[in-house]
């Protein structure tokens, strides 16, 4: 389906443009630790600046309605100003009684940033009156928050009811890249899927087995499949509730000529201390498995090198703790190198996946690395995103 994007809105000179962004960034003592989401909206901000529109940004930060200073978006202002070479006007209440006059009196090159939307419960309740008040501040609405568009919140779903609306340029690019993977990407096509819990990825896996040539599994998801097939080393994974789904996935993979790739060895915990001690195992039903092993890494690498396009969602082990970051890191480095050399087209995304790639210093080395978590997964699955439905 085609969605109207910001370029199609026509003349925006002097128009007040309300842009829903996702500035839900990681903080440490009020200091922003990762500016990717602030910089990712650059194409839309620069487009609006050239169009001489008045830019009003709205976002949430955190999961609470507690309006404590630690949840304030004020910490974003200096980064916005330096990134987009402008003055940032901060409005300390998204429904401030003087918000309209503050916006009207701001400079032509200013960016206006409203305080955390979630300080109002009405945001997550998708309250129409709350949305109407936000909409009253602007002439046009832009959704530039792909990573939040799987949420049916007021600023995502209700504001578009009251204003002409369109998608931002990075939003359009994000869904276009995913669409291209399924519709136009080069073959052979491979997906790598990891993560702890099978139930969070069943819809994704059901779609992928009908769309890709190879599907490599890691993490607890691989464990559930291996336990289903009777692999002794992984009886610690309880897949009983998903036996029917696993059987269906295996059968559909066979029907669609999708090659399933499972780990052949594992990295298991054998002791704890200052560092985690581990050993490589093949067959031990009592082991605590936290990563794929070196043999599995080489196996998946061989398959990666046979493919033209790679989609990756979910780490393959406990990447937060060395040495259980080995499998995810080794394969990430392989995909990154092939991407840099133009040998594969790579799409990597999901919350933990993004954090893993950033930890390894590879965040700029893939064709596309998404900062989105749930929205990325939902869109790949083919689930309807409320934020897109509203457009």
**Could you report the per-residue pLDDT of 326-358, keeping only the tens digit for each?**
999 999 999 999 999 999 999 999 989 999 999
- Residue 110 and residue 229 share a domain: no
- Residue 136 and residue 76 share a domain: yes
From 118, 149, 172, the end of a domain falls on 172
pLDDT of residue 183: 87
- Residue 362 and residue 230 share a domain: yes
d(C-alpha 389, C-alpha 391), whole Å: 5
- Residue 73 and residue 139 share a domain: yes
Task: Judge whether 141 lies within some domain.
Answer: yes
d(C-alpha 324, C-alpha 280), whole Å: 11
pLDDT digits (tens, 9 = 90+) for 142-185: 999 999 999 999 999 999 999 999 999 999 999 999 999 998 77
Task: Judge whether 180 lies within some domain.
Answer: no
User: Does the bond joining 323 to the residue before it have cis omega, within 30 degrees of 0?
Assistant: yes
Q: What is the mean pLDDT of residues 28-38?
A: 93
Task: Judge whether 179 lies within some domain.
Answer: no
From 131, 147, 172, the end of a domain falls on 172
Residue 197 phi/psi, 5° resolution?
A: -120, 125
From 149, 172, 195, the end of a domain falls on 172
d(C-alpha 358, C-alpha 373), whole Å: 14
Residue 54 or 199, more confident: 54
Task: Judge whether 1 lies within some domain.
Answer: no
Task: Judge whether 391 lies within some domain.
Answer: no
CATH of the domain at 254: 3.40.50.1260
- Residue 54 and residue 12 share a domain: yes
> Over 90: is that where the pLDDT of 226 sits?
no
Task: Judge whether 70 lies within some domain.
Answer: yes
d(C-alpha 31, C-alpha 274), whole Å: 29
- Residue 274 and residue 149 share a domain: no
Three-point CA angle 44, 48, 16, nearest 5°? 120
Q: What is the mean pLDDT of residues 235-257?
A: 84
Task: Judge whether 389 lies within some domain.
Answer: no
- Residue 372 and residue 235 share a domain: yes
pLDDT of residue 237: 56
- Residue 31 and residue 58 share a domain: yes
Q: Which residues of 136-149 are buried (b: 16+ CB within 10 A; e: fewer)?
A: ebbbbbbbbbbbbb
Domain span at residue 77 reads 6-172
- Residue 347 and residue 257 share a domain: yes
Task: Judge whether 255 lies within some domain.
Answer: yes
- Residue 133 and residue 90 share a domain: yes
Q: In DSSP terms, which residues pair with 18 in a beta bridge?
A: 56, 141
- Residue 96 and residue 243 share a domain: no
- Residue 194 and residue 53 share a domain: no
pTM score, two decimals?
0.93
Q: In total, how many domains does the chain have?
A: 2
**Cα–Cα nearest to 173, from 214, 208, 144, 193:** 144
């Amino acid at each position: 389906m085609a969605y109207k994007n910001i370029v199609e809105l026509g003349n925006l000179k002097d128009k007040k443009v309300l842009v829903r962004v996702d500035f839900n960034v990681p903080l440490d003592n009020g200091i922003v630790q990762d500016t990717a989401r602030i910089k990712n909206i650059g194409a839309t901000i620069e487009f609006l600046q050239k169009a001489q529109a008045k830019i009003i940004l709205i976002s949430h930060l955190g999961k609470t309605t507690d309006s404590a200073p630690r949840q304030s978006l004020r910490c974003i202002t200096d980064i916005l100003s330096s990134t987009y070479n402008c003055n940032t006007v901060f409005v300390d209440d998204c429904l401030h009684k003087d918000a309209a006059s503050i916006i009207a009196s701001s400079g032509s090159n200013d960016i206006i940033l409203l305080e955390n939307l979630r300080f109002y419960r009405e945001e997550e309740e998708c309250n129409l009156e709350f949305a109407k008040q936000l909409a009253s501040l602007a002439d046009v609405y832009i959704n530039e928050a792909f990573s939040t568009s799987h949420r049916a919140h007021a600023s995502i779903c209700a504001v578009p009811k009251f204003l002409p609306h369109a998608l931002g340029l990075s939003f359009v690019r994000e869904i276009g890249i995913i669409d291209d993977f399924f519709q136009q990407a080069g073959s052979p096509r491979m997906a790598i899927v990891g993560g702890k819990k099978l139930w969070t990825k069943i819809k994704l896996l059901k779609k992928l087995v009908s769309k890709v040539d190879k599907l490599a599994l890691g993490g607890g998801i691989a464990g559930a499949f291996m336990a289903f097939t009777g692999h002794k080393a992984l009886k610690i994974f309880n897949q009983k509730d998903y036996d029917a789904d696993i059987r269906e996935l295996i059968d559909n993979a066979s029907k669609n000529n999708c090659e399933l790739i499972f780990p052949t060895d594992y990295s298991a915990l054998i002791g704890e201390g200052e560092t985690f001690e581990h050993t490589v195992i093949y067959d031990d039903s009592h082991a605590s498995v936290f990563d794929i092993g070196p043999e599995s890494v080489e196996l998946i690498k061989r398959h990666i090198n046979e493919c033209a396009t790679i989609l990756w969602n979910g780490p393959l082990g406990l990447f937060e703790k060395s040495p259980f970051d080995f499998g995810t890191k080794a394969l990430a480095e392989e995909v990154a190198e092939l991407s840099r050399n133009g040998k594969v087209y790579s799409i990597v995304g999901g919350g933990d996946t993004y954090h893993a790639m950033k930890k390894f210093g590879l965040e700029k080395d893939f064709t596309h690395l998404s900062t989105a978590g749930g929205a990325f997964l939902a869109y790949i699955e083919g689930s309807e995103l409320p934020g897109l439905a509203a457009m």
